[in-house]
Structure 1
Amino acid sequence: MSEGPKSWPVMSIAEAHARLTAPGAPFEIEEKVIRGIRTKVWKNAPPTLRHVFENGRAFGEREFMVYEDDRATYEGFGRAAVRLANRLTAEGVTKGDRVAVIMRNLPEWPVAFFAGIITGAIVTPLNAWWTGPELQYGLADSGSKVAIVDDERLERIAPHLDECPDLLRVLVTRLADAPADPRVQRLEDVIGPVNGWAALPVEPMPAVELGPEDDATILYTSGTTGRPKGALGTHRNMTSNIGAGGISVARNFLRAGEPIPVVDPKTAPQRTSLLVVPLFHATGLSATLGPTINAGGKIVLMRRWDAEPAMQLIEREKVNATGGVPTIAWQLIEHPARTKYDLSSLQSVTYGGAPSAPELVRKIPEVFPASAPGNGWGMTETTATFTSHLGKDYENRPESAGPAAPVGEMQIRDPADGVTVLAPGAVGELWVKGPQVVKLYWNKPEATAETFVDGWLRTGDLARIDEEGFLFIIDRAKDMLIRGGENIYCVEVENVLYDHPAVMDAALVGIPHKTLGEEPAAVVHLKPGGEATEQELRDLVRSRLAAFKVPVKVVFWPETLPRNANGKILKTELKKVFQEEPA
């Protein structure tokens, strides 16, 4: 990472953005009217995800994905995706139908996603960590016609298929035994094994007209009601991350007074990323997969995150970038075997999705001298990245999430009225606007009306913005905690605890954790004469919800939980019971 001249920065954020977005510049901005709202957009971004797919396929025999012994080129990936798209069309999938993708990070995941995209479907990635009932809700709520899953997810949804009335077909990959249900078919019978994709015949893509404002994805985000909400995103939402990621890097060169390197993706060294966040997250899908394909990069996948195997992959595949949440960076830094491996190829360790200590910003370049730290802020509703914070800007403001990409706008409003815009430095509720903001919540008109107002997204985050436009997240107005990048809405867990016959009062709070950011912990008050053990309550939550939502601790409170005058539980008081035993 360059130290730049002593006068750093040589220009403001506003001046850097003005240069980078000027007419004729690579990041030129224009205005479009989208759903009646004038919106800044990237002029040169791919119009749709089909264009991203075609841009990637143009890299031909270049290697695209690596997973254990499987390796796929761009051409092999392209042939498999088109073949599967044509199969979906034969199954009756038409533009606007929902196609669910439910699997761990496998090479088949991007194939399933882009196959759905090029049929014109609204692709609906569901959280692979969800339980069977949670997955059934997502399939039924979205009205998915086809689900493309792996063997583990089939096992979870199989008992619930009759509760998904719109689901006509399930295609499953990596299944050991023959499917017992006639609705279920092997994906390999359509596209074959990964290492055979390049030998598939060339087929024409389905003839479907797609535009930037067409619906592309439904990504589920938990809701304060306890039921996940499907964020309906357009093709423009999904492709806007390509510009946002590129401009944040270019901005750093200008701020340092250095020329921006001219990079031709066709001839430049291929950039390799170790992807360890789930593809079903906006971060994995929108901020990583899409931009990587568009630029012809390589993605290395792991079955599950494990620091030492990750370091082996970084050395073997000469990985340039990794990250996702602070957990990953900390585990790489602190692993006792780190010095056994050549990690010198790492140029970028970035993260978001969880609180991170300023200490981490200093440790990354110290431990990985060729690597720059980075973080950012975004939500499922902003299709991942809305602000980016890299290099020296991050080192100088380690508690900030960075400035917004110049197509985005941010305001801090008075939480009391949701209208009054506060002055720089004042703390209030963060509202954002831009081409990254999704269209609405699927089948949730009331929640849509509350959250999306005249083109603005009410984020629920308490924040401040300094004079130069750097965002600082202060707290979450929504009752939510984030464990290693996974959103946990407290009411969802509390509702399960309340279902126990002995529980009178229950509250979920976040307790600090060095690598995960925070973990869920519960405080429970039992009914007179009621009995329950900590393990019993944790098992109850585990039986209903995904494992990451299970409280790591349960403390029994001797009386009714403390509340304010409005009856709201004082969670700040409850957190104190865990402070004597820090995680």
Structure 2
Amino acid sequence: MLTATDLVPAALRRWWRHAGYYPDADLHTLFTRQVTAAPQRAAVIDDEGTHSYLELADRVSRLAAALRAAGVVTGEVVAVQLPNGWQAVAVDLAVAAIGAVVLPYPIGRGRRDTLTLLRRSRAVAAVVAHKFGDVPYADVLADLRDDLPDLRTVIVAGGGGPDSLEGLARDGASTTWRPTVRPDAPARILVSSGSEAAPKMVVYSHEALAGGRGAFIDALHTGPGPMRNLFLVPLASSFGSSGSAVTVARFGGTLLVQSRFDAARALELIDRHGPHLVFGVPTMFTMMLDHPHLSRVDMSTVRAVVAGGSRVDPATVAACRDRFGCAYVNCYGSADGVNCTTDPADPPEEVHDAVGRPNPAVAAVRVVDEDGRDVAPGDVGEIWGLGPMSPHCYVDADFDVRYRTDDGWVRTGDLGRIDVDGFLHVVGRRNEIIIRGGRNLSPVEVELLVAQHPAVRQVACVGVPDRLMGERMAVCLALREGATAPTLGELAHYLTDVHGLERAKLPERLRVFDTLPLSPAGKVDKRWLREQFTETPQ
């Protein structure tokens, strides 16, 4: 059973409800209202085809009955590792229907993370893919069963048979029984993809997801009709949590997904199904821009591409606006409970350099010094967040001590500044600052400049160990098609002579990759990149 204390003051939660920031119901109740309102509307479009709200509701009911028959009760945790598709959405809503707490984690997280997440959350049930790619996820979990004493039930997707997820969703018993679920009860555990040795697990309520995160999506949706959102990122990620909980349950929209990112398939989904918003990371948009089929794709329905996960260079913003023919929205957020986005109408120079003005219906933002005092406009400090989307707490109380204040604010660990016009600028992370011989270097500052080099398609800067200086900055590149890789000296010339970067901030190591690797959450995997370097200068 999950124990989750809401660290946001109760008076604040009450005020947000009174102000209308929260819906008046839990996620499954919100979903059933959408089913009643438009049963034949497309709820999910995935690799298998189109699934209506009525079809999805039937599967949700049968899966909820199967979980209940397995003994899962209100407040217990159900871990889920599935690729994007109707299955992931149905499990989300089935877990919500019985008042349990869903713990999704993306395909790609391996044995070590699986053991850590399930053991620390005390998950009593797990729903996993039989096999995806070359990884037999069901077999991995089976090997871990002896180390997971709380795990009683495993449901396998894609394995066939009446007890598989698909068999239960198709032929299992159905039920209309439901417990009373409070909107402020825990609904979902988001897994942080940050740089901690072990992933952080963050507990969100029904109302924080549907209300706070819902306000973030709602602010981006313009025009008539239900929203149609294409999520290129995993639904199990923090960014993807606005799929089933928000797009489907809160707003009755259509959710478009693919089981794994493929630029050609993404463009096909846009061309055939006309989404309004496309959610991804800059690397994904770059790959779509480079695809030869782009010129043949009808992009007329797309109102904005919404980018999260990393900073973006001006050339990418301009290319997206020009070739996609829509707005580029820069999104800053994390599983820990902070969010800020640019407005589709913001000028390009703001989009690449800022992440927008905070929305009080989502989360207020402060930038503070080491003593927790607000810094002056323009000064750099740590970003704190608090608002309707704020989570209850972390699964591990040790993280609450480190990352939550007594009055509910989340210490993000990110460094930023707020300019005189109220725009938030993110300049890096405390634990990503590279300390070279006692001097602090910002990898983000260098990444933004290198990204403007005409040969560069992707860039990431990481700190690598060095006996003499402690750390040195390494720059990792992926090149545009047909481009020649710059040498470290040529790159230094470009950064100093063209952009005026101080020589003390120059990268000292360089490595070129075909493409930069992505973590399971869709961000550039800087941990993997660091492991590719040794202390031998290159």
Report the TM-score range of the alignment, normalised by the length of the smaller protein: 0.7 to 0.9
Q: Which residue matches 2:168?
A: 190
Partner residue in 2 for 1:368: 324
Give me the whole-angstrom Cα distance separating, in 2, the residues matched to 1:234 and 1:164.
Answer: 25
User: 1:281 is paired with a residue of what secondary structure?
Assistant: coil
Please give the alpha-carbon distance, in whole angstroms, between the structure 2 residues aligned to 1:114 and 1:480: 40
Matches within 5 A, 1:38-437: 38-39=12-13, 41=16, 43=20, 45-47=22-24, 48-58=26-36, 59-152=38-131, 153-175=137-159, 185-192=163-170, 203-204=175-176, 206-222=177-193, 225-239=196-210, 240-248=212-220, 263=224, 268=225, 270-286=226-242, 290-369=246-325, 371-382=326-337, 386-398=339-351, 399-407=353-361, 408-414=363-369, 416-417=370-371, 419-437=372-390
Moved more, 470-479 or 328-337: 328-337
Three-state SS of the structure 1 residue aligned to 2:345 is helix
Deviation at 1:69, TM superposition (A): 3.2
Contact 1:519 1:552 in 2 (8 A): no
- SS of the residue 2:382 aligns to: strand
Describe the superposition over 1:415-447 as per-residue Cα deviations: whole angstroms up to 9, x where unpaired.
x22x221122111111111121111111x2222
User: Partners of 2:315 and 2:231 in 1: how far apart?
Assistant: 24
- The alpha-carbon distance between structure 1 residues 519 and 103, as it changes in their structure 2 partners (threshold 3 A), is farther
Structure 1: stretches of 5+ with no match in the other structure? 1-31, 180-184, 194-199, 251-260, 482-508, 527-541, 559-576, 579-583
Q: Deviations over 1:234-268 (max 9, x none)?
A: 11221122223223557xxxxxxxxxx6x4xxxx3
Question: How far off is 1:342 after superposition?
Answer: 2.7
**Is the 2:307–2:329 Cα contact (8 Å) retained in structure 1?**
yes
Residue 518 of structure 1 corresponds to which residue in structure 2? 460
DSSP-derived class of the 2:426 partner: strand
* Conserved? CA contact 2:34–2:249, under 8 Å: yes
Q: Are the aligned partners of 1:79 and 1:201 in contact in 2 as well (CA < 8 Å)?
A: no
* TM-score when normalising by structure 1: 0.71
Residue 389 of structure 1: how far off its partner (Å): 0.9
Question: How far is the alpha carbon of 1:473 from its aligned partner?
Answer: 0.4
Residues 327-382 of structure 1 deviation map (CA, whole Å, 9 limit, x = unaligned): 1221222223321333333222111111111222222221122x111122111011
Q: Provide the TM-score with structure 2 as the length reference.
A: 0.76
Distance in 2 (alpha carbons) for counterparts of 1:201 and 1:163: 31
Which amino acid in 2 is paired with 1:421? D
Structure 1 pair 449/356, CA: closer, same or farther in 2 (3 Å)? same
CA distance in structure 1 between the partners assigned to 2:170 and 2:126 by the alignment: 18
Partner residue in 1 for 2:391: 438
- CA shift, 1:519, in A, is 6.8
* RMSD, aligned CA: 3.1
> Distance between the aligned counterparts of 1:516 and 1:154, measured in 2?
34
Cα distance in structure 2, aligned partners of 1:308 and 1:433: 39
Asked if structure 2 preserves the Cα contact closer than 8 Å seen for 1:323 and 1:329, the reply is no
Residue equivalent to 1:450: 402
Deviation sequence 1:129-153 (CA, Å, 0-9, x none): 1112221211111111111111122
The code of the aligned residue for 1:306 comes to D
Q: What percent identity do the matched residue pairs reach?
A: 24
Equivalent residue letter for 2:62? R
In 2: Cα distance, 1:82 partner to 1:292 partner: 16
Letter in 2 for 1:457: V
- Cα distance change of structure 1 residues 161 and 449 upon mapping to structure 2, 3 Å threshold: same
Q: Structure 1 residues 207 and 515 mapped into 2: Cα distance closer, same or farther (>3 Å)?
A: farther
Alignment of 1:501-540 (within 5 A): 512=447, 518=460, 522-523=464-465
Q: Would the alpha carbon gap of residues 287 and 173 (structure 1) be closer, same or farther in structure 2, given more than 3 Å must change?
A: closer
- Count matched residues: 451
Describe the superposition over 1:263-298 as per-residue Cα deviations: whole angstroms up to 9, x where unpaired: 4xxxx3x54332210011121113675234432222
C-alpha displacement of 1:221: 1.7
Tell me the distance in 2 between the aligned counterparts of 1:249 and 1:277. Answer: 18
Q: Output the amino acid matched with 1:347.
A: R
Do the aligned residues in 1 keep the contact of 2:22 with 2:388 (CA within 8 Å)? no
Contact 2:31 2:252 in 1 (8 A): no
